[in-house]
Amino acid sequence: MARSAPMEDMYLMYSLTIKEFEIIDFSMSRSLKDEAFIAIGDSNGHIGLGVKCSKEVATAICGAIILAKLSVMPVRRGYWSNKIGKPHTVPCKIFGKCGPLLVRLIPARRGTGIVLAPVPKKLLQMAAATYTAIVKTYAFLTPNLWKDLPLAKTPYQEYVDILENTSKTGQRIIELITANKNNASDLHG
């Protein structure tokens, strides 16, 4: 069968299953790729996610591990109702979306644990939150992160002393010029 024939034609024309993987490699060599998703974390507030696509499984896994290590970020934690002890949950309700999947994280009491399906639960156990939702926790500042900073001065406020000295110097020069003119007119007159 020629390389240009689609896989469906092989099944429809001959009604036989393909028993040799080389035929699949030959006919679909350009479209077969393996994708690896790697999530790493230290169970202490750090998580990284790596995604890599490659023709070889080992290459995809190695590339995903490298990307996961390069994307490690801290998890912002918060409290459920009061500030007793260390932060233990997400700071507020958070939504994370990737394709059709929507993840919603809600703050909970200390000791509640993670109430999820096994795979997302494993991901949450690695760093206490999912990656896309964690990124959104850095989109705002909670009141405990507010700092009293002085307002930045405008250029006029910053250089007011220089401007005042310049205007005084300019006035002084004008006074000297007028005084010289008066002295010159007194000498000539």
Percent of the chain whose predicted confidence (pLDDT) is above 90: 7
Q: Is the pLDDT of residue 166 over 50?
A: yes
CA distance 130 to 41: 11
pLDDT score at 43? 75
**Which comes out higher in pLDDT, residue 2 or 112?**
112
Q: What would the mean pLDDT of 101-111 be, rounded to a whole number?
A: 78
pLDDT score at 36? 87
Q: What would the mean pLDDT of 62-78 be, rounded to a whole number?
A: 87
Q: How far is CA 37 from the centre of its chain?
A: 18
Percent of the chain whose predicted confidence (pLDDT) is above 70: 59
Q: Is the pLDDT of residue 1 over 50?
A: no
Contact in structure between 126 and 40 (CB atoms under 8 Å): yes
Of 71, 130, 72, 55, nearest to 96 (Cα)? 130
Of 131, 137, 85, 132, nearest to 111 (Cα)? 85
Residue 80 sits at φ, ψ, to 5 deg, of -85, -55
Give me the helix-helix angle, 7-14 and 21-28, nearest 10°: 130
* Side-chain-side CA neighbours of residue 142 (13 Å): 13
pLDDT score at 106? 83
Q: What is the largest CA-CA distance in the chain?
A: 126
Query: pLDDT, tens digit, for every residue of 112-159?
Result: 777 778 877 766 655 444 566 666 667 766 776 677 777 777 776 776
Query: pLDDT, tens digit, for every residue of 34-67?
Result: 888 888 888 777 888 888 988 888 999 999 999 9
pLDDT score at 29? 62
Mean pLDDT of the chain: 73
Of 25, 19, 86, nearest to 55 (Cα)? 25
